[in-house]
Amino acid sequence: MENKSESNNRNLKVILGILALLLVATIFYTYTLYNDSANTERQLVEEKALVMKDLNNMADQYDIAIGDNEAANQKLVEARARIQGLMDSLKVSDNNVRSLWRYKKKFLALEEEMDNLLAENDSLKVENALLATVLDSTQIQLEERTIFNDSLLAQNTELADIVENASILSTAGLKGFGVIVRSSGKLVPTERARRTDKIRVCYTVTKNSLVLPGDKEFFVQVLDPKGNVLGLNNQIEFEDKVLNYSLISKFNYESKNLDICEFIDAKGDEAFEKGRYTINVFNNKDLVARTEFTLQ
């Protein structure tokens, strides 16, 4: 009986020992899992912060590119908005491997898109710079042409002083252009048809000592791009010619150069059309000046 009791005690001790070992193993395993989970969580937070930093850098590059353009490139603006959306979503996302990998894939796609868009934007900037150079060159040519025309006007005026064997008045420096009429009455030249309120016609009646001073008149004819006569569109008949004119330019000639400007209105509420306009000035039936200009 006593041997049996001792045997039971030994068995109980063995069982208790095994249970103690299992408890220690369980505690160690749980501790290990906790440490692994904490490390994983810390790594995910760090990776998430790195992705957020990269997205911020991309957003900054887009802000610089958008700011360099006078008119915002719509593709850049839309791409910048997509990055901001991804950043907002990443801030509230779960810290797990699957979620972080999904955001990394989106980031890589956006990075490739950014490289393409910025390269395209740089190409556009180069083209714009070349265009600006061409426009500057064109402006210089126009200024040179204006100087030439002014010089030509002076030469024509001098020639009119010398050539006194003709008893007919003539003109120099005929020009036409669109103007915007401000409420203050100020006139602003424009080349845009839709903004033009009136067409202004200016010329200089050149001095001719053989012509007696007094009230004179020229017939001004303004033709639109379709060949229609603007303004009054009245007719006057000569012996061998019928002339349709836009207005009668009346002035008092005093045996010296006289600068004159007239205005042509659009028909009713119609706007001026785009295209090339022709201006003719007649002294009676004789054409004394002709010019053209364009409204865009």
Residue range 54-85, pLDDT digits in tens = 878 888 887 887 776 655 578 778 878 888 88
**Structural domain containing residue 37:** 2-128
Residues 281, 190, 251, 204: is their CA dihedral positive or negative? negative
Residues 209, 212, 217, 219: is their CA dihedral positive or negative? negative
**Domain boundary, last residue among 80, 102, 128:** 128
In-domain check, residue 90: yes
113 and 20 fall within a common domain: yes
103 and 182 fall within a common domain: no
Single pTM value for the model = 0.45
In-domain check, residue 290: yes
- Measured distance CA(167)–CA(211) in Å, rounded: 5
User: Do the Cβ atoms of 107 and 55 come closer than 8 Å?
Assistant: yes
pLDDT tens for each residue of 189-208: 999 999 999 999 999 999 99
| pLDDT at residue 75, as a whole number | 77
User: Do the Cβ atoms of 220 and 211 come closer than 8 Å?
Assistant: no
Query: Of the candidates 48, 60, 46, which has an alpha carbon nearest to the alpha carbon of residue 90?
Result: 48
172 and 108 fall within a common domain: no
16 and 123 fall within a common domain: yes
- Measured distance CA(151)–CA(156) in Å, rounded: 9
pLDDT tens for each residue of 152-189: 676 766 654 454 446 789 999 999 999 999 999 899 99
In-domain check, residue 87: yes
**Domain boundary, last residue among 104, 128, 152:** 128
**Domain boundary, last residue among 74, 105, 128:** 128
What's the CATH code of the domain at 185?
Answer: 2.60.40.10
Residues 126, 131, 132, 136: is their CA dihedral positive or negative? positive
In-domain check, residue 151: no
pLDDT tens for each residue of 85-120: 877 877 766 655 566 667 767 777 777 777 777 777
Number of domain units in the chain: 2
